[in-house]
Structure 1
Amino acid sequence: MVDALAAVAPRFAVSARQEKLRLLDRLAECEIHGPRSLGAFHETLCFLQAYPDDAEVLTRVDRALEQFPARVKRLGVPAARRLRDSGIAGTSLDYPFGYPMARWLARRFPRDVEILWEQFTEEERLQESLVLLLNPTEHDAFSDEGGLGWRRWLEVARAGRALTDLQVLLELFDRANLDAATRDWLFESLALPIGWRLHGAGASRTFAKLPWPRPVFRGGGEAPSRRSGPRDFIREVRRPLPSLRAAPRRLAESLIEAARLAMAVRFRELFAFSYANPGDVLVAD
């Protein structure tokens, strides 16, 4: 049924809509035991959420996506590991995020993001790098030669607070007497493996949808084009620009959050999103 839904998803005739509803209803009652099939089902649902036939199809799709954390949990740990790095709700991923994205993740998902020390092998580099973050008077206490060493130093810097190692390390970088470019380069050079458990609203591709009052429905229309040719490109370039206006602050911030999330779950970081300014966000009618 998963394959059948994927096959009918890009078709928008009346008969295709009816088939989508039938398959969505049947799949809602079925257990999907294989991670590969569950992943394929997820991708098809994401396509249908972006290109729904009508409100009824969209409602079914949203409901199916809401069930995904429970579906992943029922797979069991060994099978669910095969969905690692997929960006699906209920799974996890790890990536050596740069400083701006790591700081955003630690603030946005403080209990679900942490350094995976078991995957980290550059302890000597970390030891050398952290010296640059300390005051000169702290160097002797920090060093491995008679000092605390970096692991114990993180515990001391935590000072009994309920902070993760990542939060403590980011705090050290925040207060370091380094210019922004040097700070960002130093953090990125460590290539810290940062693990992220994709739980809760807005923490996955599954729940990355922004609320919008006027969704576009494609019922009875043509399938969305998957490939554009040179003529399509030229036509779009020549088309007059719509009216642009500055986005209200709240909307601008939500769009920036959505853009960062879209990049993070795909292991990507863009300067425009990492250092985004809400005042630069424009919206068009």
Structure 2
Amino acid sequence: MTKTTGTYLKHLARIQGLYGDGHSRCKTDLLQLLDRRRFKKAGEVLRLHEILCFLRAYPDDRELLAHVEDQLSRFADRSDLRRFRKALADTGVAGTAINYQFFWFTATWLARRWPQQISINWTDFDRSDKLADMLHLLLLYSETPATDELDFSPREWIDQLKHPDETDAAFVIRRFDALRATSFGREKFYEDLDIPMQIKYKPGTASRTHAKYNNSPVIFQNRPLDYSRPDMFQAMNQPAKVIHSVPPHEGQNLINMAREAMITRSRDLDSFMHADKNDVRLVDFGDGYQFVCFGAIPERRLILESVYGYLTLKNGVPIGYVLTSSLFNSAAVGYNVFETYRGAESAAVYGRILGMTRALFGVDVVCVDPYQLGHDNTEGQESGAWWFYQKLGFQSHDPNILKLMRRELARIKRNRKYRSSNDTLQDLTAEHLFLYLDKPREDVIGRISLGNIGLQIVRYLAKHFGSDRETAARVCADEAAKCLGVRSRRSFTVGEKQAWERWSPLILALPGIKRWSLTNKKALVHIVKAKGGRRESDFVKLFDKHHLLRRALLKLSERD
């Protein structure tokens, strides 16, 4: 690569996040020039790609965006991209392969979506012998004489077993999918193998290069990026401009886009893999920022808290994702920005997330869990996550952490270049941080022991049923119905029946449940049905209004 070309690329990188004062013209000129140049290093090719992706999300004007879109549409055809195809594997750039040990539900989705593009990476498959040991579970009984007597390698066996037009990965995934087991069982069997796979690129497969929701309006960036720290209390009371439901067919398209955003970054997220196309909403702040809100299918919902996943869009470009776990008018919020877009209006975007969470779930308390803060999480520590939230007003309840925080703040005041050590950050991030819209309270996510509630259910079932959990499920469902005055469950949907069976042991374990009024019992019936209904956020709102249920669960959580 000539020095001149490298200089142009560095100049573009320096000004990509600057707006006004003629920067748009300069960016456009540099883009046109670099479009005609070719690089001699893989890193430069990737750097240009990242700049293009950033400018697609934060375009100055229509002319610049047109050049960005044009170059991204042709990026896979660049000769330098083809030259460095292997070096750029796992970057998510169009024209390159993706290698990853995908989780079970992602693997089944890939086998349906791109069956001819997926293959097993046998070189890195450390547990292939375990697959060989399981072959008899995946085949017809009539095939067992061969598997019992012949000594083929695992790879040779799969080549023998699959159809000539079928890839090895597609065959294995389909056979696991045919196992006579629950979805949880198939998931466990498959993921224990930790199968490394490759997605070979072809036009139409997942890439970051082409990731965009074309139905999003484009708001051009005609002002400097907002690096300020907004008042989080005000932000929580500023809901989105529009929140609207998405039809199921469009919901599935958005689910696919969210899944692609993860696999192109060698990640997997349950909230996207278990997303329900019937519970997809688009939260629009009217300034180019949108959040696609995904509820979970009933089978994969947790017993108590409600978990939602969100894909963050800027002008239709996926720039990050969010997780919320809500109950007791509180929510744990996980905030993630994809590397290409980090630093661009991060605090302002987080303020929008809090406003959205309050609008959807009625929360007045937000917390951040230790891992998100950087506990046992090197990436979180390096990003300065704990200090990011501390500066936004989040506080710990732990006196030792507060003391350590004051010590670190004093050191920073004396020396602005001071940085907390990794050991110090590990200690700071050991507990949740909280932000209260009202006065602090203890009955919130992050302070209530949901695990202890589960332990009381375990003890109830152990005492009354021992090993016969199948009988327990049937008896508890009937006894809970009798307790709450439910004469018949025939009209319940599949999801409602499932939620009822899962909640029944908890209902029977609730202290004082038999003394509840008929009104409170009926309200609990509606809550349980909502847990298996179309939209789990309805469950959260009904639960939070039922003060007797809340108190009963708190008592359970406090039992030894």
After TM superposition, the score normalised by the length of structure 2 is: 0.47
SS in 1 for 2:138: coil
Aligned counterpart, 2:94: 89
List aligned pairs for 1:168-207, cutoff 5 A: 168-207=171-210
Aligned counterpart, 2:297: none
**Aligned partners of 2:81 and 2:95 also within 8 Å:** no
SS in 2 for 1:107: helix
Aligned counterpart, 1:238: 237
List aligned pairs for 1:79-228, cutoff 5 A: 79-136=84-141, 138-143=143-148, 145-146=149-150, 150-160=154-164, 162-212=165-215, 214-219=217-222, 221-225=223-227
SS in 1 for 2:99: strand
1:242 & 1:76 partners in 2: Cα distance? 44
List aligned pairs for 1:20-31, cutoff 5 A: 20-31=27-38
- How far does residue 159 in structure 1 lie from its aligned partner after superposition? 4.0
**Aligned partners of 2:117 and 2:199 also within 8 Å:** yes
Instruction: Flag the 1:146–1:263 CA change in 2: closer, same or farther, 3 A.
Output: same
1:115 & 1:233 partners in 2: Cα distance? 47
Instruction: Flag the 1:158–1:33 CA change in 2: closer, same or farther, 3 A.
Output: same
2:192 & 2:52 partners in 1: Cα distance? 38
Could you tell me which of 20, 23, 27 is aligned with 1:13? 20
**Aligned partners of 1:142 and 1:150 also within 8 Å:** no
Instruction: Flag the 1:80–1:98 CA change in 2: closer, same or farther, 3 A.
Output: same
Instruction: Flag the 1:16–1:241 CA change in 2: closer, same or farther, 3 A.
Output: closer
SS in 2 for 1:41: helix
1:70 paired to 2:70 = no
1:107 & 1:84 partners in 2: Cα distance? 23
Q: Which moved more, 1:234-243 or 1:27-36?
A: 234-243
Identity of aligned residues (%): 31
After TM superposition, the score normalised by the length of structure 1 is: 0.88
**Aligned partners of 1:114 and 1:165 also within 8 Å:** yes
SS in 1 for 2:86: helix
Instruction: Flag the 1:141–1:258 CA change in 2: closer, same or farther, 3 A.
Output: same
**Aligned partners of 1:87 and 1:198 also within 8 Å:** no
Which AA in structure 2 matches 1:274?
Answer: M
- How far does residue 242 in structure 1 lie from its aligned partner after superposition? 4.3
Which AA in structure 1 matches 2:74?
Answer: Q
SS in 2 for 1:190: coil
Greater strand proportion: 2
Which AA in structure 2 matches 1:267?
Answer: S
Instruction: Flag the 1:20–1:174 CA change in 2: closer, same or farther, 3 A.
Output: same
1:198 & 1:224 partners in 2: Cα distance? 37
Which AA in structure 2 matches 1:51?
Answer: Y
Unmatched 5+ stretches in structure 1: none
Segments ≥4 residues shifted beyond 6 Å: none
1:278 & 1:196 partners in 2: Cα distance? 25
Instruction: Flag the 1:243–1:15 CA change in 2: closer, same or farther, 3 A.
Output: closer
- How far does residue 41 in structure 1 lie from its aligned partner after superposition? 0.7
Deviations 1:183-232 (A, max 9, x none): 1111111111101123313521111112135211112x12254xx63x44
1:265 paired to 2:264 = yes
Instruction: Flag the 1:104–1:2 CA change in 2: closer, same or farther, 3 A.
Output: same
Q: Which moved more, 1:183-192 or 1:125-134?
A: 125-134
RMSD across aligned positions (CA)? 2.2
Aligned counterpart, 1:43: 50
**Aligned partners of 1:10 and 1:224 also within 8 Å:** no
Instruction: Flag the 1:278–1:76 CA change in 2: closer, same or farther, 3 A.
Output: closer
SS in 1 for 2:278: helix
Instruction: Flag the 1:233–1:139 CA change in 2: closer, same or farther, 3 A.
Output: farther
Which AA in structure 2 matches 1:166?
Answer: A
Instruction: Flag the 1:148–1:119 CA change in 2: closer, same or farther, 3 A.
Output: closer
Instruction: Flag the 1:34–1:151 CA change in 2: closer, same or farther, 3 A.
Output: closer
Instruction: Flag the 1:197–1:147 CA change in 2: closer, same or farther, 3 A.
Output: closer
Which AA in structure 2 matches 1:218?
Answer: Q
SS in 2 for 1:279: strand
1:265 & 1:192 partners in 2: Cα distance? 17
Deviations 1:122-170 (A, max 9, x none): 2321112333334555434323x3476644543454244x110111111
SS in 2 for 1:33: coil
- How far does residue 110 in structure 1 lie from its aligned partner after superposition? 2.4
The alignment of Structure 1 onto Structure 2 pairs a total of residues equal to 277
Decide which structure has the larger Cα Rg and report it: 2
- How far does residue 277 in structure 1 lie from its aligned partner after superposition? 0.9
